[in-house]
Amino acid sequence: MKIHNEYARFIQNFDWNYFITCRTPYKIHTKTVRDWVDKLFSRSYKVDKVFFVSERDKGDWNNLHVHMLLDTNTDMTYKEVRYGLGNISVGDYQPVYNNEEVCKYVTKHIGKDVDYDIVLKS
């Protein structure tokens, strides 16, 4: 069994409310994404948990985009997510309707050159 399948199965155990994709024209490093998550937690009482994975852009192999799954304790608008993350582009903002499928999608590159983590609000 491939590691990405195992990780998909693991994160399916959580209730994810939103799927988003984040982009920035600036170089994304490991600390960059962790700073975004910290900012989201500090600016929103609604977010309880975040899973993220950064992967290479097909259009610009030298840059990354980041998929995030958000576990929230109540509904969260696109505007609230944007405010929480700060000055980055947020696309693919959508409620999670199929937990299994979205978990498979965001973990598809785990085991390759990607950074990923699950972060719980402390």
Alpha helices for 30-119 (secondary structure H): 30-43, 78-85, 99-106
**Cα gap 56→108, rounded to integer Å:** 12
For residue 15 the two structure tokens come to: 């209730």
User: Rg of the Cα trace of the chain?
Assistant: 13
Q: What is the pLDDT of residues 39-66, one digit of tens each?
A: 999 999 999 999 999 988 776 667 889 9
pLDDT at 76 over 90: yes
Query: Reduced to 3 states, what is the DSSP secondary structure of residue 5?
Result: helix
At 120 the pLDDT is 94
Q: How many domains does the chain have?
A: 1
Strands (E), 73-114: 89-95
For residue 28 the two structure tokens come to: 């994304």
Which residue range is the domain that position 39 belongs to?
Answer: 3-120
Q: For position 69, which CATH number holds?
A: 3.30.70.1910
